[in-house]
């Protein structure tokens, strides 16, 4: 039984390592601790901290996750596609958004809500709110002020939408589905481990039976006991193979 327990632990650790590797395999690596990703240093340290501080507090206290991503360029990739990649890899709550900014680009920054928002709210309502927020952020004079304004706008929009009943219900359903998915994954892992354990026991059982049979059949050989008969001696011996009855 202990061997089966070790097998289950081993498979669990393997699954966890695989998940870890998938996360670390993201093109941009691990999520920064301060919710602001600025790999080329477009923002100063002071500016990044000023943007990040309220976002960290909102994440901690309200479970609203706003990630700010500042990239020098994204090539021909659609901004939505880039932002979605960051959201899928780095977002920590159901209510989340990514603020993507490319300095010098007129239609930047963009605000992209997470899946819960996108799949629940009416598209026209959501798009109108985001376009107004983006427009106010783009009107700011500097790159720093644009990014900061967009992050504040994103947090305010997420906070407003989170208060709606439909979003609360959607978050509740989403959490229930996540819990069920985790349970099903663990159940499948246990069943797989039991199946592997049972399959591993079969050759052991056959091996034990074969070994027992070999030991049994390889014991010391001996002739069967001989039947002892006493012949009658003289003067009682007679012909015709007469023997004693004793």
pLDDT by 10s per residue, the chain, length 246: 455 555 555 455 454 444 444 444 567 788 888 899 999 999 999 999 999 999 999 888 888 889 999 999 988 889 888 988 898 889 888 888 899 999 988 889 999 888 766 666 677 777 888 888 899 999 999 999 999 999 999 888 888 877 654 444 544 545 555 556 666 677 677 777 777 776 777 777 777 776 676 776 665 556 566 566 555 555 555 555 555 555
What b/e readout covers 51-80, taking b as 16+ CB neighbours within 10 angstroms?
bbeebeebbeeeebbbbbbbbeebeeeebe
Both 41 and 152 in a single domain? yes
Both 117 and 56 in a single domain? yes
112 with 87: CB under 8 angstroms?
Answer: yes
Both 53 and 136 in a single domain? yes
- For residue 171, the model assigns a pLDDT of 46
Both 128 and 184 in a single domain? no
User: Residue 195 to residues 16, 55, 68, 73, 202: CA-CA distances in angstroms?
Assistant: 20, 47, 46, 50, 11
Domain boundary among 163, 194, 228: 163
- Element holding 58 (H helix, E strand): helix 45-62
User: Does the global pTM surpass 0.85?
Assistant: no
Both 120 and 195 in a single domain? no
Q: What is the largest CA-CA distance in the chain?
A: 145
- For residue 245, the model assigns a pLDDT of 55
- For residue 129, the model assigns a pLDDT of 80
Both 11 and 72 in a single domain? no
83 with 69: CB under 8 angstroms?
Answer: yes
Dihedral over Cα of 48, 53, 56, 59: its sign:
negative
Radius of gyration in angstroms for the set of CA atoms belonging to the chain, rounded to a whole number:
39
What are 136's two structure tokens? 């106010």
Does 216 map to a domain? no
The residue assigned the tokens 């390889």 is 218
What would the pLDDT profile of 83-125 be if each residue is shown by its tens digit? 888 988 898 888 888 999 999 888 899 998 887 666 666 777 7
Q: Tell me how far apart the alpha carbons of residues 145 and 135 are, in angstroms, rounded to a whole number.
A: 13
64 with 157: CB under 8 angstroms?
Answer: no
Q: Tell me how far apart the alpha carbons of residues 69 and 106 are, in angstroms, rounded to a whole number.
A: 16
DSSP letter at 76 equals T
Pairing of strands 36-37, 64-70: parallel
**Cβ atoms within 10 Å, residue 109:** 27
Does 227 map to a domain? no
Domain region containing 191: 1-30+164-204
Both 73 and 129 in a single domain? yes
């Amino acid at each position: 039984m202990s061997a089966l327990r070790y097998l289950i632990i081993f498979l669990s650790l393997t699954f966890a390592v695989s998940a870890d590797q998938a996360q670390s395999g993201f093109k941009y690596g691990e999520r920064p601790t301060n919710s602001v990703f600025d790999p080329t240093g477009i923002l100063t340290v002071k500016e990044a901290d000023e943007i990040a501080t309220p976002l960290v507090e909102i994440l901690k206290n309200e479970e609203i996750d706003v990630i700010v991503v500042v990239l020098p360029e994204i090539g021909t990739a659609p901004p939505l596609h880039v932002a979605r990649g960051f959201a899928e890899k780095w977002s920590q709550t159901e209510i989340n958004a990514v603020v993507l900014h490319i300095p010098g680009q007129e239609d930047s920054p963009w605000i992209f809500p997470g899946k819960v928002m996108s799949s629940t709210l009416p598209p026209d309502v959501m798009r109108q709110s985001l376009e107004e927020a983006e427009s106010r952020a783009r009107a700011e004079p500097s790159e720093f002020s644009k990014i900061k304004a967009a992050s504040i706008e994103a947090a305010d929009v997420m906070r407003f939408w989170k208060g709606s009943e439909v979003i609360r219900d959607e978050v509740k359903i989403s959490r229930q589905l996540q819990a069920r998915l985790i349970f099903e994954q663990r159940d499948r892992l246990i069943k797989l481990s039991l199946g592997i354990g049972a399959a591993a026991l079969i050759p052991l059982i056959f091996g034990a039976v074969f070994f027992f049979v070999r030991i049994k059949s390889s014991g010391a050989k001996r002739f069967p006991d001989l039947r002892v008969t006493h012949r009658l001696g003289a003067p009682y011996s007679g012909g015709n193979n007469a023997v004693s009855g004793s």
